[in-house]
Amino acid sequence: MVRRANEITAKKSAALEARGEAQANRNTAKNLKDLGVDYEIISKSTGLSMEEIAAL
């Protein structure tokens, strides 16, 4: 039972970490966009699509 609880906690932690990383990538992309960096470079740097960058 403790093992299962640890697995659930680990999965939740991983999900939160992934969300935090995704938000950090969006923030970075927004900053680069505001600086006038080409969308293709932003996309390659952050993993966001051109559409996601345009929507920022």
pLDDT, tens digit, for every residue of 9-51?
Answer: 767 677 778 788 999 999 999 999 999 999 999 999 999 999 9
Which tokens sit at 44? 């390659």
Report CA-CA distances (Å) from 56 to 3, 12, 13, 30, 41. Answer: 41, 27, 27, 6, 15
Q: From CA 11, how far away is CA 1, in angstroms rounded?
A: 16
pLDDT band at 4; cut points 50, 70, 90 = confident
Judge whether residue 56 has pLDDT over 90: yes
- Residue 55 is predicted with a pLDDT of 97
Residue length, the chain? 56
pLDDT band at 3; cut points 50, 70, 90 = confident
Q: From CA 28, how far away is CA 49, in angstroms rounded?
A: 13
- Residue 5 is predicted with a pLDDT of 63
User: Domain boundaries in the chain?
Assistant: 2-54
